[in-house]
Amino acid sequence: MTDPIADDRPEILQLADWRRQVADLYAEVRRLIRSDHEAAVELWRSKRERLFRDHAQSPVLLSKREAFRAHHYPIDPALRFEVLVEPDSPVASSSSGSASAFGGFGAPIDFGGANASPPSGGTMRAAPLASDLPVSAGGTMAMRRIGRVEIPFPAGVRSLVVFWMSGYAGGLFIPFRDATNGTETYGAGRYLIDGAKSADLGGDPVRGTVILDFNFAYHPSCAFDPKWACPLAPPDSRLDIPVRAGERLT
């Protein structure tokens, strides 16, 4: 009898290896970036380009892999930030409500409810909101809005939404669009953090921060081949300024 799973095993193992190598790359970047930001960015660029050119699970079309070369903006250390993840907006405290939790953490997380003690001023943090994001190939992907970050760009403070993937492998997710989309960068935007794919530069859970470095902004897989289904940045994840850092089209 033929095992229907057998034919898929090579591809599955290749995918596992892809994820393993990406996870190792980001771990190496997090170590190096503490002492040499530029070297960490260059390492990320070179190893990612090699994966896209040589790995069987590359999102780049097979016919274009051999000649593939990544394109990036000049490195700008001023576009690296450690920012506080804050609730989208405070909500008035009340005697009703329930603790909010979602999959992936291994235990319920109380984001504010009947059993939460509100801070001074009589307000408490809003519970994470369900927010299905559109997917490039059609349909939606279930997310939770867990907060927002305020980013002190040289052009002024702008904000982005922070999501948690409700399904799939879970993980933080921060996509964004900016004024370069459709000309210098992919029209549907780029990603800063995708925890399901190990694309995460770290942060401090005690202080409630994440590190956003736009020098590591990258295009989703659907930018290279439309067969890939990628969640897209919603309207309130769009920046009204050009962010000329990270990956670009040419």
For the chain, 250 residues long, give each residue's pLDDT as a single digit of tens: 555 556 789 999 999 999 999 999 999 999 999 999 999 999 999 999 999 999 999 999 999 999 999 999 999 999 999 999 999 864 333 233 333 333 332 322 222 333 333 333 333 344 556 677 767 766 776 788 999 999 999 999 999 999 998 876 789 999 999 999 999 999 999 999 999 889 999 999 999 999 999 999 999 999 999 888 888 898 899 999 999 999 999 9
Q: Rounded distance, CA 156 to CA 125, Å?
A: 26
d(CA 62, CA 67): 10
pLDDT of residue 212: 98
- In whole angstroms, what is the distance from residue 230 CA to residue 110 CA? 29
Please return the burial class of 109, using the count of CB atoms within 10 Å of its CB with bins 0-12, 13-18 and 19+: middle
Q: Is 246 left (phi over 0), alpha (psi -120 to 50) or beta?
A: left
Assign 219 to helix, strand or coil: coil
**pTM of the predicted model as reported, rounded to 2 decimal places:** 0.81
Beta bridge partners of 72: 247
Indicate the domain borders of the chain. Answer: 71-89+126-248
Helices (H) and strands (E) in the chain, counts: 3, 14
Question: Can you tell me the distance from the alpha carbon of 222 to that of 61, in angstroms, rounded to the nearest whole number?
Answer: 11
pLDDT at position 91 is 38
